[in-house]
Amino acid sequence: MNFSSILIEWYKINKRELPWRNTINPYFIWISEIILQQTKVEQGIPYYNKFIKHFPTVQKLASADQELVLKLWQGLGYYSRARNLHASAKFIIKNHQGKFPDNYNEILELKGVGTYTAAAVASFSFGLPYAVVDGNVIRVLSRIYGLNLPFDSAIGKKYFIEIAQKLLDKLMPAENNQAIMEFGALQCTPKSPKCSICPFINECVAFRTNTIDKFPVKSKKLKVKKRYLNYFYLKKRKEIFIGKRNNGIWKGLYDLPFLEFSFPLTETEVLKSNEWNTFFKNINYKIISVSNVSVHKLSHQHLYSRFWTLEVNNFELENFSFKKSSKISDLPVPRLLDKFLKDNDIV
C-alpha cells in the first residue's frame, strides 16, 4: 500500500478551500496553526482573518499592545496561546531581525510552539520533510494500522511521530501533511467515520476487526475540577468595579472580583459566610439582583458561577478599580463575563 499517494489523491478531490492554504507566508501559517490549537476550523477562520487584518506582519504584532491582542482573541479561550504569539513576535524581532525563522529547530524555539506546529510551518512554508502529528493524524494512523499504544504517553507520542515520519512523502511534505489532517477531519472522523467510501477500507485494521471506536487508545482520563464562583458586579453610578488578572488561565484579561467556595452554596449561605462578611467588611452595599447559577465548561474545569449585582459607594481591592461602563467593551474579558455583560445590556 502506498499510503501517501492514496492520501494525496484523496486530498486533491476532497480538500476544503481555507484561507491559510492560499499562502506559504510562514507568519500567516504560524498564526493559523496557533489559532487552530483547540479550535475548530469553522470557528477559527474569522479569528484568522481578523488577526492578519490587524497584524499583517510580525512587526505589527510585536509592536501591538497586549490588551488589543487579547481583545481580538476574546472568545477563543486558552489565552496563553495569544500571550505566547505576542511574546514570540517580539522574540522574532529581537533574535531574527524580524524575519520568521526558516528551519524546524528555530521555529521550535518560539514560545508556545511544539513539534506539531513546528512541523506544520516548516513543511507548509518551506517544504521541509517533517511530519505533523495532531489528533487527526493519530486517529487515522491508529485505526488504519491498529496501533494500540496510548498516544498520550511519552512512548506513544514518540512512536506516532516515528510512524508518521516514515510514511511521509519527503518530496511532497506539505501536501502529505495537509492530506492526512484533512482526511482525519472529513473522512476518518471521531464519530461516524465514512468507512464505506474510505480508500483504505481493505487495509484498515480497525474496520476489519470492527474496533473503530476503540482507537485511538488513551491512557489518561481527564480530571475535571469543579469550581463554585460568586462574581460581584459592583456599580457606582455609571462605573463598574473591574480589574486585570495577573495570573491564571485568564492572565491579562479584565474580570470582576469574586468569592470562590469548594462546594455549592445557596444565596443565603453565601450571605452568611465568613468570606462574604470579610469581603464586604465596613462597606455599605445594596443587593440589586442575583443571577441563577450557570455552568461554564473549560477543558480542565467547570465553573459554576452566580453573578451578584450590587450598588456600592466605594470599594478598594488590589489591582481593581472603578471604570466607566462605556469603556468596558474595549477591554479583553473572559467569555463568561462577556456573556453576562451582553445578556444584561451592560456593554
C-alpha to C-alpha distance for 133 and 176, rounded to whole angstroms: 12
DSSP 8-class letter at 17: -
Q: At residue 237, what are phi and psi to the nearest 5 degrees?
A: 55, -115
Closest C-alpha to 187, from 221, 140, 219: 140
Residue type, 213: D
C-alpha to C-alpha distance for 65 and 5, rounded to whole angstroms: 46
Q: Name the CA dihedral angle for 187, 189, 194, 198, rounded to a multiple of 10 degrees.
A: 50
Q: Give CA 250 to chain center in angstroms.
A: 12
Neighbours of 10 (CB within 10 A): 19
Among 33, 67, 267, 318, which one carries the catalytic annotation?
A: 33
**The C-alpha cell that represents 208 in the structure block:** 476489519
C-alpha to C-alpha distance for 305 and 347, rounded to whole angstroms: 20
Q: Which residues contact 264 (CB under 8 A, 6 or more apart)?
A: 228, 293, 304
Q: What DSSP string runs through 280-333?
A: TTT--EEEEEEPPPEEEE-SSEEEEEEEEEEEES---BTTEEEEEGGGGGGS--
Residue 67 annotated to the active site:
no
C-alpha to C-alpha distance for 17 and 296, rounded to whole angstroms: 33
**The C-alpha cell that represents 297 in the structure block:** 465548561
C-alpha to C-alpha distance for 326 and 239, rounded to whole angstroms: 8
Closest C-alpha to 333, from 88, 80, 84, 77: 77
Q: Which residues are catalytic?
A: 33
